[in-house]
Amino acid sequence: MGDDKQGKVNILCMKWGDKYQAKYVNTLYHMVEKNLSKPFRFICLTDDDNGLITNIESFPIPEIRASLSGPERGWNKLSVFSSTLYDLEGDVLCLDLDLIIVGKLDDLFDYPGDFLIIKDWIKHDGTGNSSVYRFCLGAHPEVLAEFEKSSVSIKKSFRNEQEYLSSMMLNKKCLQYWPREWCKSFKRHCIKPLSFFVPRETAVPDNSRIIVFHGKPDPDDAIRGNSGKWYRRFKPATWIENYWS
């Protein structure tokens, strides 16, 4: 990728704690490399950069001046909305680690809009799913500033960071969603709706670019056919290995 950072788009992920190992970050990098023709920087904000391949730039997760205690730890994702984030500039596509890329990513940078996010597949109140979102770095510093100022009341009003983030962007009149077919849920869109009692087939939805594995299973679980739920039985989704590598 060279030393010149000008004119590159940014891919950003976060890894903290021990839920996901370096393998998930490295695999995400390789999927991006295969599916993005634009020159890019790949950044991982993390508390442990051991095992990351050399093409991944790692930085410490910026400290948020607020209490992040509680069962929902995703609030630290709001740190990317700092007015400055290390030396990063321009558009950034933020990706969770528990997803697979099954189509070209260039359109996710070319699609018009100030702030793009997945329209949550379950909620009907406008909430976005922050597994995949894009914005211009430094453009929305009030998202973090307001949380740092009023985190206690915000955490009482919103269950998690994506509900708060969606509300902030809705109030700014800049909340927009990706085309529905681009970002799909493995649980909701890839498992074919047949009998509960017979393991079901799985497949990639037409025209999808990213498949999100929110909750359980994770991609490596799904490859083995391990759903994590007795009522969600499916055959080993070995096709995932064609993408998640």
Looking at residue 30, which CATH number applies to its domain?
Answer: 3.90.550.10
Last residue of a domain, one of 146, 162, 177: 177
Asked if 97 and 161 sit in the same domain, the reply is yes
Burial 58-83 (b: 16+ CB within 10 A, else e): beebbebebeeeeeeeebbbbbbbbe
Asked if 146 and 32 sit in the same domain, the reply is yes
| pLDDT value for 196 | 59
Asked if 67 and 90 sit in the same domain, the reply is yes
In sequence order, the 6+-apart residues with CB closer than 8 A to the CB of 70 are 155
| pLDDT value for 1 | 41
Question: Do the domain assignments include residue 2?
Answer: no
Asked if 35 and 124 sit in the same domain, the reply is yes
| pLDDT value for 214 | 86
Last residue of a domain, one of 157, 177, 197: 177
Rounded CA separation 74/94 (Å): 13
Asked if 168 and 204 sit in the same domain, the reply is no
Asked if 65 and 100 sit in the same domain, the reply is yes
Average pLDDT, consecutive stretches of 10 residues, N- to C-terminus, the chain (245 residues):
70 93 96 97 96 97 86 86 96 97 96 96 88 97 96 93 96 96 93 70 94 91 84 87 93
Asked if 163 and 217 sit in the same domain, the reply is no
Asked if 77 and 197 sit in the same domain, the reply is no
Asked if 191 and 206 sit in the same domain, the reply is yes
Number of domains within the chain: 2
Asked if 86 and 165 sit in the same domain, the reply is yes
- Structural domain of 232: 183-242
Cα Rg of the chain (Å, integer): 18
Asked if 73 and 158 sit in the same domain, the reply is yes
| pLDDT value for 2 | 43
Asked if 173 and 213 sit in the same domain, the reply is no
Count of other CB atoms within 10 angstroms of residue 40: 18
